[in-house]
Amino acid sequence: MRILGLVGSARRMGNTEVLVTEVARAASALPPSVPPLDASRVPADTAEAGAAKADADTPGIVRLVRLSELRLLVCNGCMACAFRGDGQCPLQDDMEFLLAEMEAADAFILGAPTYTLLPPAPVKAWADRFIMALAREKKSAPKPAVVVGVAALVDWSRHLLPILNGLVMAYGFRLVDSMIAYAPGPAEVLLEHQNVSRATAAGRKLRLALAGQDLRPDFGPGRCPVCGSDLFRIVDSVVECGVCMAKGKLVDQVATFESRPAHRWEPEALRHHFHDWIRASGPSYLAKRPEVRRLQRAYRLNKPWWIRPPGDG
């Protein structure tokens, strides 16, 4: 069994890393790194020694990757991955390594902090390459995944989990649980034990999903049941999730959905988007290209306006 955790924060041993670690530990039935509250009489160094021994006894089960340590280039929009049809990207970086790790994993954990309302740049760099994965034939049924978000403030992080949840589904995983913890300073989440126990609960759910149970997150009432968002577009009395397009109704002023509404991240919907929109846009663009090129020519005049930092060749 292999559990892959992607850590989207550059802070070593920061909040994201700590919680992803705890989800992974529980998913692989390892004891938590810190003693649970009811065992607070266990000295911390005894607990640490126990955790370290358990890790050493189970090599290779948990594999963690810090996205900020990888060389992930920015997608340049060439669309070769889609139009060649094989999902190969001309950029030479660590994306193939990452896709191979994701393919080989039996379960997946994605963790990220909130930076300016959204996940930070390395997560977006990874997210923007998802057409590579979309273009490749899926060799297995969707594997279970857990999302871990971290933020300083509730009102400054409402987009984080819905976006991370959607990304996990876009990459072909099935979401089993999704959690967020609030703390600004590095590893400060550890001061509230409920953060660790929530991560442990998510890891246990991942473990049950690995054993074949059909588990999903419970986002509660008034939220999109697919991605957990509470940011909706309302047209007449139809409520549409702003992230995953699941549709529901306003009932007594509360957004109300069927338990499994259709949404954009479903494998069939993604296949349709890839073949009938992304790939179809290639030939339709080629037919229009002579006219586009003619109109484009005028923009060459702007060349002298471009500036670069001093010393940049």
Ligand X SMILES: Cc1cc2nc3c(=O)[nH]c(=O)nc-3n(C[C@H](O)[C@H](O)[C@H](O)COP(=O)(O)O)c2cc1C
- Residues making contact with ligand X (CB under 6 A): 9, 11, 14-16, 113-117, 150-153, 156-157, 183-184, 186
* 83 vs 115 by CB, closer to ligand X: 115
- Nearest approach in angstroms of CB 16 to ligand X is 3
Which residue sits closest to ligand X, CB atoms considered? Answer: 14
CA distance 145 to 295: 46
Q: What's the token pair of residue 119?
A: 């996940």
Question: 179-202 burial, b if ≥16 CB within 10 A, otherwise e?
Answer: bbbbbeebbbbbeeeebbebbbbb
- Nearest approach in angstroms of CB 258 to ligand X is 31
3-state helix, strand, coil in the chain (%, to 5): 45, 15, 40
* 9 vs 207 by CB, closer to ligand X: 9
* CB-CB neighbours of 20 under 10 Å: 29
The residues near 38 (Cβ < 8 Å, ≥ 6 apart) are: none
- Nearest approach in angstroms of CB 296 to ligand X is 37
- Nearest approach in angstroms of CB 65 to ligand X is 14
* 4 vs 80 by CB, closer to ligand X: 4
* 116 vs 253 by CB, closer to ligand X: 116
* 89 vs 183 by CB, closer to ligand X: 183
- Nearest approach in angstroms of CB 108 to ligand X is 18
- Nearest approach in angstroms of CB 189 to ligand X is 7
CA distance 250 to 141: 34
Report angle CA 111, 117, 120 to the nearest 5 degrees: 45
* 230 vs 240 by CB, closer to ligand X: 230
Asked whether the beta carbons of 108 and 102 are under 8 A apart, the reply is yes
